[in-house]
Amino acid sequence: MTDMPTTEVVHEFAVSRWFDAPPSAVFRAWTDPAELEWYLNPEQPRPPQPIEVDLRVGGAWRVPMVIDAETDYITGGIYLEIVTDERLVFAWGAVDGWPKLDLADLEAGPIATLDLLERDGGTEATLTVRLPEHLSAPEVQRWLNLGIRQGWTQTFERLQL
């Protein structure tokens, strides 16, 4: 009998950037509605809906996204953990947007963690997106095929401090 090799399904990915700014400035860019406009797609018109942030555990942040003339939606998340100037953890999505959030089971969808570490006179920021462990390899691949890694990478690259 030959053992079949097992392939571990990787349910997360990370995007990192260094900013020539203190962690407090990076944290504020992610949590202050007036500063969160960097998140918007600069190639599209500014959506009429406001960016909303309720910065408390259980609070939501909501950003209207316009991808192209045919695609727009609300995204954001529900805060699960907040450590000022150090860490944000949120269930990624919106009840009426994308990805769809289930308020009764926030762990059923992607969880994003932003870690901020003071380093070399600036901030090393790492965003980790974790898909639920119960997802099969094809389900994880379906999420990745949606372009979530590229989307988060492009979004993160828009932040200029």
| pLDDT one-digit tens code per residue, 48-62 | 889 999 999 999 999
User: What predicted TM-score, i.e. pTM, was given to this entire model?
Assistant: 0.91
pLDDT in tens, 49-107: 899 999 999 999 999 988 888 888 999 999 999 999 999 999 999 999 999 999 999 99
Cα–Cα distance, 94 to 63 (Å, whole number): 9
The residue to which tokens 């918007």 are assigned:
40
| CA neighbor of 67 nearest in space, from 154, 139, 127, 161 | 154
Q: Which domains does the chain have, with CATH numbers?
A: 20-158 (3.30.530.20)
pLDDT in tens, 4-38: 555 677 899 999 999 999 999 999 999 999 999 99
Residue 14 parent element (H or E): strand 12-19
Instruction: Provide the token pair at 76.
Output: 């954001």
